[in-house]
């Protein structure tokens, strides 16, 4: 299953790495590709993701999910 989220505040490869790391820690996530230029992250997971957990992970990386 693929989920695309919008993220505010990413501006570089370092930002992408932080988001990839935090989202990659979530249960069931097999791959994350953050794209700072587009302000998104594409998450591949085995099941539907909990939106609160996704928001907390992005916040832990220092950014914010945009609804």
Phi, psi (degrees; rounded to nearest 5) at 2: -115, 135
- Kindly tell me if the per-residue pLDDT of 5 is higher than 90: yes
Q: Read off the pLDDT band of 67 (50, 70, 90).
A: confident
Instruction: Quote the strand ranges of 1-67, DSSP E.
Output: 2-8, 29-35, 40-45, 64-66
Are the C-beta atoms of residues 39 and 66 closer than 8 Å to each other?
Answer: yes
Tell me the domain boundaries of the chain: 2-66
What pLDDT is attached to residue 40? 98
Instruction: Please state the φ and ψ torsions of residue 55, each to the nearest 5 degrees.
Output: -60, -40
Using one digit for the tens of pLDDT, what is the confidence trace for 15-62? Answer: 999 999 999 999 999 999 999 999 999 999 999 999 999 999 999 999
**CA-CA-CA-CA torsion sign (45, 22, 15, 51):** positive
- Dig out the tokens for 15 from the structure: 């930002």
Q: What is the CATH number assigned to the segment(s) 2-66?
A: 3.30.70.100
Q: What is the mean pLDDT of residues 7-17?
A: 97
């Amino acid at each position: 299953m693929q989920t695309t989220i919008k993220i505010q505040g990413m501006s570089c490869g370092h930002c992408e790495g932080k988001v990839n790391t935090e989202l990659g820690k979530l249960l069931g996530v097999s791959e994350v590709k953050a794209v700072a230029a587009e302000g998104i992250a594409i998450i591949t997971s085995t099941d539907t993701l909990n939106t609160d957990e996704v928001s907390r992970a992005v916040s832990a990386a220092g950014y914010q999910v945009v609804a």
